[in-house]
C-alpha cells in the first residue's frame, strides 16, 4: 500500500509526483504512455500496471490529465475501486465539470476534492505554488498534510465548483494582463524599442494600476460606480480610440484591443459615461454577449 497515487505523468503530474517523493511519501504512479514513468521509478515511485492497480494502491488518488473527458475515460471503467477512497482531481476544467465529476465520484462512494493549480511545474513543491481546493471537507482534511507537499493549499468550501471558478477567474485576470502586455511590446517593438528596455517601465505602471483594485472591489460590492470618479468611462473611451489608431498606424493588429473598445462603447451608449470603468462589470453580467 502506498500513501498517494498520481494518475497522469505529463509535465504537471511529473512535478506533483516529484514533490510527493521529495517529502518522503510512498507514491504509486500510472500514465497512459508508460515511458514517462521510468524517470520517476528511478526516483522511487512504484509504477502500477493498470489504472485499477493504481487506484487500489492508495487511500488518496491525485489525477492530473489534460482535460476532464480523459479523466472520465480513465476512471469510468474502474469505478468500483474508488469506493472509500479520496479522489483529488487537479485537471483544469469548469465549475460545471467539477460538480458533475463530484456527483459521479460521490455516487461511487468516494470523497471528491477538485483542485486548481495556480503554478507552473517548476514552482510545484515551493510555497509560491498556490493550489486551490474545493469539495469534500472530510477528504481534504484527511489528506491536507500530503497535499501540503505541493505548495500552499487554499480550501474554498464544499462546492466542488469553487476551485475551478477561482482558477478560471484568476486565469481571466492573467490573460487580460498578458494581452495588454503583448500589445504594448508589439507597439514599442515597432518603434525599435527593445522589450528589455520597456518592460521595467511597464512593470511599475502595472503595479501602480493594481493599487486601485481594492477601490474597484468596494465600488462593485456596493453597486455604486458614480461616487468619487476621477477617470470616467467617457474620457477613457475617447482616449482608447488613440490606442487603436496608434496601433493601426504602426501596422500592429488591433484584434486584442477591439473587444474592450466594443464594451466601452456599449457602456457609453447605456448612459455610463460619467461612471467609473467598474460599471462595465455590471454590463458584462447583465448583457451576456457570449458567442
Ligand atoms: P501534458 O500535456 O504535459 O500531459 C497531459 C497528460 O494527460 C499526460 O499524462 C497524458 O498522457 C494524459 N492524457 C491525455 N489524453 C489522455 C487520454 N485520452 N487518456 C489518458 N491520459 C491522457 O499536460 P500538463 O501535465 O502540463 O497538464 C495537466 C493538467 O494540469 C491540465 O489540465 C493543465 O491545464 C493543468 N495545468 C498545467 C499547468 C502547466 O503549466 N503545465 C499549470 C496549471 C495547470 P500521455 O503521456 O500518455 O500522453
Tens of pLDDT, residue by residue over 205-246, are: 999 999 999 999 999 999 999 978 889 999 999 999 999 999
Question: Measured between alpha carbons, how far is 139 from 82 in angstroms, rounded to an integer?
Answer: 13
pLDDT for the residue numbered 229:
82
Q: Long-range pairs for 106-110 at CB < 8 Å and ≥24 separation?
A: 106/136, 108/79, 108/80, 108/82, 108/83, 109/82, 109/83, 109/84, 110/82, 110/83, 110/84, 110/85, 110/86
pTM of the predicted protein model? 0.93
ipTM score of complex: 0.98
Pick from 6, 7, 10 the residue to mutate for probing ligand 1's pocket: most ligand atoms within 8 Å of its CB.
10
174 CB less than 6 Å from ligand 1? Answer: no
Supply the residue whose CA is at minimum distance from atom 18 of ligand 1.
70
Whether CATH 3.40.50.300 fits 4-158: no
| CATH topology assigned to domain 166-286 | 1.10.1040
Q: Which pLDDT tens digit goes with each residue over 23-41?
A: 999 999 999 999 999 999 9
Helix (H) or strand (E) holding 60: strand 60-63
Give me ligand 1 centre to Cα 158, in Å: 25
Pick from 66, 69, 73 the residue to mutate for probing ligand 1's pocket: most ligand atoms within 8 Å of its CB.
66
pLDDT for the residue numbered 210:
95
Question: Measured between alpha carbons, how far is 264 from 104 in angstroms, rounded to an integer?
Answer: 42
Supply the residue whose CA is at minimum distance from atom 40 of ligand 1.
120
Domain residue spans of the chain: 4-158, 166-286
Amino acid at each position: 500500500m502506498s500513501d498517494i497515487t498520481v494518475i497522469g505523468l505529463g509535465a504537471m503530474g511529473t512535478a506533483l509526483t516529484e514533490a510527493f517523493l521529495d517529502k518522503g511519501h510512498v507514491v504509486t504512479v500510472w500514465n497512459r504512455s508508460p515511458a514517462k514513468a521510468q524517470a520517476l521509478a528511478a526516483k522511487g515511485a512504484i509504477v502500477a500496471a493498470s489504472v485499477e492497480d493504481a487506484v487500489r494502491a492508495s487511500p488518496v488518488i491525485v489525477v492530473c490529465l489534460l482535460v476532464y473527458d480523459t479523466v472520465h475515460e480513465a476512471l469510468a471503467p474502474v469505478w468500483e475501486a474508488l469506493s472509500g477512497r479520496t479522489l483529488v482531481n487537479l485537471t483544469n476544467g469548469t465549475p460545471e465539470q467539477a460538480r458533475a465529476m463530484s456527483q459521479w465520484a460521490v455516487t461511487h462512494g468516494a470523497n471528491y476534492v477538485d483542485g486548481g493549480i495556480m503554478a507552473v511545474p517548476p514552482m510545484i513543491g515551493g510555497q509560491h505554488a498556490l493550489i486551490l481546493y474545493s469539495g469534500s471537507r472530510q477528504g481534504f482534511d484527511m489528506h491536507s498534510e500530503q497535499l501540503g507537499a505541493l505548495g500552499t493549499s487554499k480550501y474554498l468550501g464544499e462546492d466542488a465548483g469553487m476551485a475551478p471558478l477561482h482558477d478560471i477567474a484568476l486565469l481571466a485576470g492573467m490573460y487580460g494582463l498578458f494581452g495588454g502586455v503583448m500589445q504594448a511590446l508589439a507597439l514599442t517593438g515597432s518603434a525599435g524599442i527593445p522589450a528589455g528596455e520597456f518592460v521595467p517601465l511597464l512593470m511599475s505602471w502595472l503595479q501602480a494600476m493594481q493599487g486601485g483594485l481594492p477601490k474597484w472591489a468596494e465600488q462593485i460590492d456596493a453597486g455604486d460606480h458614480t461616487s468619487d470618479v476621477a477617470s470616467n468611462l467617457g474620457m477613457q473611451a475617447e482616449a482608447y480610440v488613440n490606442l487603436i489608431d496608434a496601433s493601426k498606424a504602426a501596422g500592429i493588429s488591433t484584434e486584442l484591443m477591439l473587444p474592450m473598445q466594443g464594451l466601452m462603447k456599449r457602456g457609453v451608449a447605456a448612459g455610463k459615461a460619467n461612471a467609473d470603468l467598474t460599471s462595465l462589470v455590471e454590463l458584462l453580467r447583465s448583457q451576456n454577449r457570449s458567442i
